Amino acid sequence: MDNQRKRELKEEYLNNRPPMGVLSFHCIPTGERFLLASRNIPGDTNGVAFKLNSGYHPNRHLLELWQRYGEDNFEVEILETLDYRDESDNSADYKDELNELRDLCLERDENASRLWK
């Protein structure tokens, strides 16, 4: 691979902005949903699933359900997405907006709770 192509790939990586929004880990047998305000939906999906499959997750109730019913009885859904305000600003913080969006989703679903307590 030539240096020009390496520079292009590096630039593409640095400008990559993952989708962000509200993730739901839905336990189908119980109907419970565990919501997460995510700045990186693919990364958080993989991270949470890895922790659950490894037998360690801070949310003990979610971990118990995961172990009892198995990964096949969970649906991972994107409930809401949040768009970036400015295409050129990679330093913007969306934490407050994502938390607000998650809280709105929590209000709409009585079976939902926060993934992280």
Q: Which phi and psi angles does 110 have, rounded to 5°?
A: -70, -15
Q: Read off the pTM.
A: 0.84
Rounded alpha-carbon distances, angstroms, from residue 77 to 9, 69, 113, 114: 30, 18, 14, 14
Phi, psi of 63 (to 5 degrees): -60, -40
* Segment 76-108, tens digit of pLDDT: 999 999 998 876 666 578 999 999 999 999 999
pLDDT tens column, 9-51: 888 777 788 999 999 999 999 999 999 999 999 999 999 999 9
- Separation CA 105–CA 20 (nearest Å): 15
pLDDT of residue 1: 75
pLDDT beyond 70 at 65: yes
Q: Hey, what's the torsion of the CAs at 54, 56, 62, 66, to 10 degrees?
A: 20
